[in-house]
Structure 1
Amino acid sequence: MPAQPRRNPPDPAQPPAADGHAGPDAAGPRGGSIAQVAARVGVSVATVSRVLNGHANVRAATRERVLAEIETSGYRVNELARNLRTAESRLLLTMVPDFGNPFYAEIVRGIDGVARQHGYFMLLCDTGADAGRERSYFDLLRRHRADGAICLDPATVQHALAAESTALPWVACCEFDPGVGVPYVGIDNFLAARDAVRHLIARGRRRIALINSDEHYLYAQQRRDGYLDALAEAGLEARDAWRVNVNCLDYGAGAGAAAVLMQQAAPPDAIFAVSDTLAVGVINGLRGAGRRVPDDVAVVGFDDIALAAQIDPPLTTVAQPMRELGETAARLLLQRLAVREARVPGVLLPHRLVVRQSG
């Protein structure tokens, strides 16, 4: 009788696999199988699977209990095995033009929070507002290395890629052009800028300057137009000398622009800056020029980043709903992924003016 082949004894460190119980798909300090997670929560394996795969037909309370148990137990999904079964990467790209701008931080947190709730991971991509770098990230979508993308790049970059990318699952966030033909979320930049300048006018300011971004950005064009509309409405002069465009939104650019404005024979008595980072720099630049804020020159910013309330004086600014912008962008993208042929609408979220001591 031929000798029977030797069988290695089971490895106690590796639970049995492939039958819905623990295996390479899971590992954790409390025993990491999907069945064990389900048993501890008191739900079916199918319910845990629906949570992991981001399906919406799970009650919120149940979803939270499952996610809490997954976190506590250390359950880990074998992503490669699942991807081969589902042809999904469970990866969402977030393309950001400038990592150094704190405005994007809260938006990214909003995107990541919704992605995790639905079983996705988020990959943060630094594009530098460069069409070539953005194109390389879109290639990940074409090759199914990522399921979808959220783009915060300028509308000009989006236009450059529109012809080749409209069929891909992506959403524009903050900077958008409805003409590109993809879902978007943002605010009404024209109305927001007009509200900011109207506020300065109501405070008695008559010589109001604008420090703006490069006007190849669509939001810069819209905020410029809102500024001009508010001045025209009040019958105030819009001097070209009181409009300064900068190539970046950092603190130094704001300080430099403020110094240029204060050197004029008839300097402005108020400055509207199209971002808080610029506005913080403006306040420092005015201080360096011997001007007091708001006594000599009032300052209004845009975004309401965390620093805006901490500087001296605290900054009056237009608040964008940054976390909600990110959350909405992620939900729009998930809608598009769930039903590829569905028409997903664009969304405009409300802004608000936060009045502090700078103007």
Structure 2
Amino acid sequence: MTVTIYDVAREAGVSMATVSRVVNNNPNVKPQTRKKVFEAIERLGYRPNAVARGLASKKTTTVGVVIPDISNTMYSEVVRGIEDIANMYHYNMILCNSDKKKDKEIRVINTLLEKQVDGLLFMGGVVTDEHIEAFRTSVPIVLCATTDANRVIPSVDIDHEAAAYDAVKVLIEHGHRNIGMISGSLQDPSNGFARYQGYKRAIEEAGIPFRESHVRVGNYRYEAGLDTMEYFLQLPDRPTAIFAATDEMAIGAIHAIQDAGLRVPEDMAVISVDNVRMASMVRPQLSTVAQPMYDIGAVSMRLLTKLMKKEPVSNPVVVLPHETIMRKSVAHI
């Protein structure tokens, strides 16, 4: 049978109110009494009912986290940052995978809100009107590695357009003028469209004619890099350099170039954005613009704790800095 607070009180010879104070770390309990209660809890194997405590306090000390792809190492770094700060502030975490599908995202958001989470961290793609409608709740929401078009929802991210611009500028500074791009979905405002805009701005500022034929859309994954590179390799005037919107696609591109008997960076340079662990494991090591993924998660969770505790927030839209990491996949021509 389930052990109740009544059983603990009887075993320890105290009132149920005293047991409640001990369980909730109320300081107004004598050390000797506290010791008796803890001994009774240990003997009986009592576990406090978190649901009941949440109903009483109207707080569950739980946050919901919506992640687009749990198999993507980039997001695992974000979640590590979230969890570390959540633990620091004594919050539990419910993690849900959405596959970056709008219907599933909306369903997961509603499910987490029904679970009475105290706050919600959302990582996804396009923040639509349906998302904003789902976010209309008394529970604080923070967008993590995601932003809404009007920047009205609290968020933590980098400037994706600037990150892509900096990556392409590296290629230009190394003498490249025929630069292809493996893009993410142009309907995706950050990893897709913003990075495409950064590529285009860098090209045009350098006086290089912009060619739509030199932009191919991938799905962010390794296989997209492999498949897309086959297109670029068959062009009569093939690029001397490739900018990939993600490291995973860039690694696929490197392998496709090598499979064709060409060398990176001697025959074709490759650079990307993200800086996942695999970027330094591939050969040649991948030059990339690093997102501070752990920091994005940690800062997002800290911002959420402030909102949940109704602490003052000077800037609810946080843009963290990115950093160019030069390795071995780019060389002068």
- With the length of structure 2 as denominator, give the TM-score of the two structures: 0.84
Contact 2:9 2:19 (C-alpha < 8 Å) held by counterparts: no
**Correspondent of 1:294 among 230, 245, 265:** 265
Q: Which amino acid aligns with 2:206?
A: A
Contact 2:243 2:272 (C-alpha < 8 Å) held by counterparts: yes
Question: In 2, Cα distance between the equivalents of 1:267 and 1:75?
Answer: 69
Contact 1:269 1:298 (C-alpha < 8 Å) held by counterparts: yes
CA drift at 1:352 = 0.5
Contact 1:111 1:326 (C-alpha < 8 Å) held by counterparts: yes
Contact 2:168 2:199 (C-alpha < 8 Å) held by counterparts: yes
Deviations 1:42-79 (A, max 9, x none): xxx9xxxxxxxxxxxxxxxxxxxxxxxxxxxx997542
For the pair 1:312 / 2:283, whether they are aligned, the reply is yes
For the pair 1:161 / 2:161, whether they are aligned, the reply is no
Question: In 1, Cα distance between the equivalents of 2:208 and 2:30?
Answer: 67
Deviations 1:305-350 (A, max 9, x none): 1111111001100100001000111111112211299786100000
Contact 1:115 1:330 (C-alpha < 8 Å) held by counterparts: yes
Q: Which residue of 2 aligns with 1:243?
A: 215
Q: Which moved more, 1:162-171 or 1:229-238?
A: 162-171
Q: Percent identity?
A: 31
Q: Which moved more, 1:127-136 or 1:13-22?
A: 13-22
**Correspondent of 1:321 among 289, 292, 301:** 292
Distance 1:12 1:340, change over 3 A: closer
Contact 1:24 1:78 (C-alpha < 8 Å) held by counterparts: no
Distance 1:14 1:323, change over 3 A: farther
Q: Equivalent residues in 2 for 1:324-335 (5 A)? A: 324-335=295-306
Q: Which amino acid aligns with 1:84?
A: L
Distance 1:291 1:332, change over 3 A: same
**Correspondent of 1:87 among 38, 55, 58:** 58
CA drift at 1:169 = 1.9
CA drift at 1:293 = 0.2
**Correspondent of 2:166 among 188, 192, 195:** 195
Q: Which residue of 1 aligns with 2:317?
A: 346
Provide the aligned C-alpha RMSD in A: 3.0
Q: Give unpaired runs (5+ residues) of structure 1.
A: 1-9, 27-32, 46-73
Q: Give unpaired runs (5+ residues) of structure 2.
A: 1-6, 35-44
Question: In 1, Cα distance between the equivalents of 2:47 and 2:288?
Answer: 44
Q: Which residue of 2 aligns with 1:172?
A: 143
Q: What SS class does the counterpart of residue 150 from structure 2 fall into?
A: helix
Deviations 1:98-128 (A, max 9, x none): 1221110100010111111111111111111
Deviations 1:187-209 (A, max 9, x none): 01111111101111111111111
Contact 1:257 1:282 (C-alpha < 8 Å) held by counterparts: yes
Q: Which amino acid aligns with 1:148?
A: G
Q: Which residue of 1 aligns with 2:90?
A: 119
Q: Which residue of 2 aligns with 1:152?
A: 123
Contact 1:252 1:281 (C-alpha < 8 Å) held by counterparts: yes
Distance 1:282 1:212, change over 3 A: same
Q: Which residue of 2 aligns with 1:60?
A: none
Distance 1:78 1:284, change over 3 A: same
Q: Which one has more relative contact order, counting CA pairs under 8 Å at least 6 apart?
A: 2
For the pair 1:209 / 2:160, whether they are aligned, the reply is no
Q: Which amino acid aligns with 2:193?
A: Q
**Correspondent of 2:256 among 267, 285, 291:** 285
Question: In 2, Cα distance between the equivalents of 1:169 and 1:128?
Answer: 23
Question: In 1, Cα distance between the equivalents of 2:316 and 2:184?
Answer: 28
What is the number of equivalent residue pairs in this alignment? 310
Distance 1:268 1:86, change over 3 A: same
CA drift at 1:165 = 1.9
Question: In 2, Cα distance between the equivalents of 1:39 and 1:290?
Answer: 74
Q: Which moved more, 1:92-101 or 1:167-176?
A: 167-176
Q: Which moved more, 1:77-86 or 1:257-266?
A: 77-86
Q: Which residue of 2 aligns with 1:230?
A: 202
Contact 1:16 1:23 (C-alpha < 8 Å) held by counterparts: no
